[in-house]
Amino acid sequence: MKINRKWVLARRPSGAVAQEDFRLEESAVPAIEPGQILIRQTWFPLEPAMRGWIADEPNYLPPVEIGAVMRGMAYGEVVESAAPGFSPGDVVTSFSGWQEYAVDQGTAAKIDPDLAPELVLSALGMTGMTAFIGLNEIGKPQAGQTVVVSGAAGATGSVAAQLARIQGCRVIGIAGGERKCRWLTETARLDAAIDYRGEDVAARLDELCPEGIDVFFDNVGGPLLDLVLDRLALRARVVVCGAIVRFGDSGPAPGPVNYWKIIQKRARIEGFVVLDYLDRVAEVRSELAKLVESGELAYEADVQTGFENLPSALRRLYQGQNLGKQLLRVD
C-alpha cells in the first residue's frame, strides 16, 4: 500500500505561526476515478498569506478547517491519469495542499518540464503575477517616477521592484539586512536599498526621495507604511499588496497615523487580490518569461528540503530568513 503523508491544520494560531499549529498524518494513497489524476507533489511554495488562511477570520478565501490538509500550491508529476489530456510523467502545478500525493479533478496546470521549478514557482508563478498586476494595474508607474518597494528582497517585492526599474523608474527597495540590500543593488540593479533593520528609514527616504514617492508597492504595512505616507508625492499610488507585519511574534502593528496625507497629496491607496486576475496568467507569464530570458529580470529562491519541514519553512517568511521565493523540495 502506498502511503500519503500530509500536513493538516491542528489548531488555529495565536500570534506567529507555530510548528504545533500543524500535524503530520499518514493515509493510503487513494485510487483515482474517471476524470481524475494522481500527482506526486515534489515542490511546495510558501506564502505569507497562509497565516491568514488558517486564522478564524473573514478573508478572501474561507479559513482552512481544523483537521483539513493545509491549503497551498504544489508542483509535481502526474503518476496516474484517468483524465483526458494528462499522461503519467506530465509536470503540473495545482492547488492541492501540503500532501505528497494529491488527487486532482483534471484542473491542474501543465508546465513545461524544461523550466526549473524555482522559476515556475517564483517569477513565472503567482508571485511574478502578483508583482506584475499590483505594479501595473494599481501602481501604474511612469518612467522617471520614484517607486519604493517594501519587502523588496522577497519573492513578490523583488519582481515588482525590477519591473519598475525596467519601466524606467527610479526604484528604492526596503529590506532587512545587508545581504538582502546588496542583492537589491547588485543583482536586481535598483537605484538604492534601505536596510530597515540597520538604518534610519525616515532619514534615508528623505535623502533618496527629495521630490516624494510616486508609487509605494507595500508588502509589509505597519510603521514602514506610515513613514512612506508621510513622504508621498502629489497623486501618488500606494499599492497594498501585503501586510506581513500583522503576522509577527509581537502581534498586530498599529494602524497608520499619517493616513490623512492621502488627502493632502490627492493620493490613492488600493488593495488587490491576484486571484481576481487569473484570466491574465498566460499573457503575464509570457511577458515575464521574455524578461527572464533576456536577463533583465533576476529571480532568487530559498530552497529548504524535506516534506516534514513544511511548517518550519513557512515560519522562515515571518522571520525574514528567505531571499527571494521560499520553497520546499521533497527529497
Instruction: With contacts defined by CB under 6 A, name the span among 27-35, 147-155, 257-265, 280-288 that binds ligand NAP.
Output: 147-155
CA 54 to chain centre: 17
Whether 308 contacts 331, CB under 8 Å: no
Residue 293 sits at φ, ψ, to 5 deg, of -60, -40
**If binding is defined by CB under 6 A, does position 122 make contact with ligand NAP?**
no
Q: Which residue has the cell 514617492?
A: 213
**If binding is defined by CB under 6 A, does position 298 make contact with ligand NAP?**
no
Position among 17, 54, 274, 310 found at the interface with ligand NAP (CB under 6 A): 274
**If binding is defined by CB under 6 A, does position 130 make contact with ligand NAP?**
yes
Position among 21, 47, 80, 104 found at the interface with ligand NAP (CB under 6 A): 47
Cell of 108: 491542474
**If binding is defined by CB under 6 A, does position 76 make contact with ligand NAP?**
no
HEC string of the chain?
Answer: CCEEEEEEECCCCCCCCCHHHEEEEEEECCCCCCCCEEEEEEEEECCCCHHHHCCCCCCCCCCCCCCCECCCCEEEEEEEECCCCCCCCCEEEECCCCECEEEECCCCEECCCCCCHHHHCCCCCHHHHHHHHHHHHHHCCCCCCEEEEECCCEHHHHHHHHHHHHCCCEEEEEECCHHHHHHHHHCCCCCEEEECCCCCHHHHHHHHCCCCEEEEEECCCHHHHHHHHCCEEEEEEEEECCCHHHHCCCCCCCCCCHHHHHHHCCCEEEECCHHHHHHHHHHHHHHHHHHHHCCCCCCCEEEEECHHHHHHHHHHHHCCCCCEEEEEECC
Q: Count Cα atoms within 13 angstroms, Cβ side, for 268.
A: 12
Q: Based on CB atoms, which residue is closest to ligand NAP, 103 or 190?
A: 190
Task: State the nearest-atom distance from the C-beta of 151 to ligand NAP, in Å.
Answer: 4
**If binding is defined by CB under 6 A, does position 228 make contact with ligand NAP?**
no
Task: State the nearest-atom distance from the C-beta of 186 to ligand NAP, in Å.
Answer: 16
Instruction: With contacts defined by CB under 6 A, name the span among 3-11, 136-144, 148-156, 305-313 that binds ligand NAP.
Output: 148-156
Position among 125, 154, 256, 311 found at the interface with ligand NAP (CB under 6 A): 154
Q: Based on CB atoms, which residue is closest to ligand NAP, 141 or 154?
A: 154
Q: Based on CB atoms, which residue is closest to ligand NAP, 39 or 245?
A: 245
Residue 241: count other Cβ atoms within 10 Å of its Cβ: 28
Q: Based on CB atoms, which residue is closest to ligand NAP, 48 or 311?
A: 48
**If binding is defined by CB under 6 A, does position 256 make contact with ligand NAP?**
no
Site for ligand NAP in 83-102 (CB under 6 A): none
Position among 157, 171, 204, 261 found at the interface with ligand NAP (CB under 6 A): 157
Position among 97, 125, 128, 242 found at the interface with ligand NAP (CB under 6 A): 242
Instruction: With contacts defined by CB under 6 A, name the span among 137-145, 154-162, 258-266, 286-294 that binds ligand NAP.
Output: 154-162
Q: Which residue has the cell 508563478?
A: 125
Task: State the nearest-atom distance from the C-beta of 121 to ligand NAP, in Å.
Answer: 10
Task: State the nearest-atom distance from the C-beta of 183 to ligand NAP, in Å.
Answer: 11
Position among 74, 111, 153, 232 found at the interface with ligand NAP (CB under 6 A): 153
Interface residues with ligand NAP (CB under 6 A) are: 47-49, 127, 130, 151, 153-157, 175-177, 180, 219-220, 241-242, 244-245, 248, 272-274, 317-318, 320, 322, 326
